Copies of this chain bind each other. A is one copy, B any other.
Amino acid sequence: MNKVTIYDISKKLNISAATVSRALNNNPKISLKTRELVMKTAAEMNYEQNTLALALKSGKSNTVGILVPYMDRSFFSSVIRGIEEELYPHGYHVIICQTRDDAKSEVQNINTLLNAQVDGIFMSVSKTTKDTLHIDRVLQKGIPLIFFDRKKNLPGVSSVTIDDFNGAYMSVEHLIRQGCKRIAHFMGNINLEIYKDRYNGYLKALTDYNLPYSKDYIVQTNSKVESGTAAVKKLMKLPEPPDAIFSSSDFTALGAVQELKKTGIRVPEDICISGFSNESFTQYTEPTMTTVDQTPIKMGKMSARVFLEQIDEEISVAIEKKVVLSPQLIIRDSSNRTGRE
């Protein structure tokens, strides 16, 4: 099948190819009548514009890229959904890359998105990312970049995050209200601000309620189920085991619950557990799991709005927005002793 070119249209209408090209690009130098005629003819002849060539020319591909550590985590897939829902009516399409928390893969994915001529990049940085040269490249090219959830502090870059400190504080406060006094913490990788904030929110709640802080009660974990299993085993061997765990991750909280049930320790009667992220499985476990909802769809929609503002030429391109959303504590059976909250 031969593709219809602008030369075919030019021949048919007996006007120059340059005029056809200008008309197709809606150039006001060509009369409205001619523009309409050319477009109508192009449509009739099934002419297909080379949108890539067009993108190179106009600098717009109407595609944005989203970079996440794992696209199958409920949190990230919901943020993506929020971005898609907000950008779709504006004619934008979304392509997604995942880094699996690998810094090298993050660099390569940024290149892939740049090569795909995206108009903007939304990203949540990988746990292992240290330098930001690849991010600097995006900024040098003048492509809007918006961080969500996991961010780096870079001048001029907007971000949409949630108040992790407060999410942690609310969780620990709730555990204290359930009568818990020896509250342990499954701590994430505090190279990432979100985990540092959760840790600090935990500490602040203990201090405010005059509860003792013990190093033995802080266990370093990654966001895997097995990591939670190992961590709770360690805690339960202590001379004075904790009566609650505030976990920085739903996956480690799940690992703890599974292990405790196996050894006959009752949740929440003997020990209260709370997680973080409101992963979809937390509503299906037994007991159902207390967690912190990070309002990911809202986060996605808000990130998209920040992007739309940035590309709006009426507004300055140099705006830097730092949006911080409020998380929501979801109290379920794994920590609810009193049934009162």
Comparing A71-79, A123-131, A191-199, A316-324, the segment that makes contact with chain B is A71-79
Q: Are B77 and A71 in contact (CB under 8 A)?
A: yes
Q: Which B residue sits closest to A48, measured CB to CB?
A: B137
A99 nearest CB across to chain B (Å): 11
Interfacial residues of chain A within 47-65, with CB under 8 A of chain B in the complex:
51-52, 55-56, 61, 63, 65
Interfacial residues of chain A within 270-322, with CB under 8 A of chain B in the complex:
280-281, 284-286
Interfacial residues of chain A within 245-287, with CB under 8 A of chain B in the complex:
254, 258, 280-281, 284-286
In the complex, what distance in Å separates the CA atom of A257 from the CA atom of B89?
38
Q: Which B residue sits closest to A118, measured CB to CB?
A: B116
- The answer to whether A95 and B96 touch (CB under 8 A), given A1-B140, A117-B116, is yes
The interface size bin for chain A is: 35 or more
Is A16 an interface position by the 8 A CB rule? Answer: no
In the bound complex, residues from chain B placing their C-beta under 8 Å from that of A284 are: 254, 258, 281, 284-285
In the bound complex, residues from chain B placing their C-beta under 8 Å from that of A258 are: 284
In the complex, what distance in Å separates the CA atom of A111 from the CA atom of B52?
10
In the complex, what distance in Å separates the CA atom of A163 from the CA atom of B74?
29
In the bound complex, residues from chain B placing their C-beta under 8 Å from that of A63 are: 112, 115-116
In the complex, what distance in Å separates the CA atom of A63 from the CA atom of B93?
17
Chain A residues with a Cβ under 8 A of chain B? 1, 51-52, 55-56, 61, 63, 65, 71-74, 77, 80, 84, 93-98, 108-109, 111-113, 115-117, 140, 254, 258, 280-281, 284-286
Top 10 A-B residue pairs of the complex, sorted by shortest distance between their CB atoms: A72-B77, A116-B116, A93-B112, A286-B286, A95-B95, A96-B96, A281-B281, A71-B71, A51-B115, A52-B115
A-B contact pairs, 25 of them (CB 8 A): A51-B111, A51-B115, A55-B115, A63-B116, A71-B71, A71-B80, A71-B96, A72-B77, A84-B98, A93-B97, A93-B109, A93-B111, A93-B112, A94-B112, A95-B95, A95-B96, A95-B112, A95-B116, A96-B97, A96-B98, A115-B116, A258-B284, A284-B285, A285-B285, A285-B286
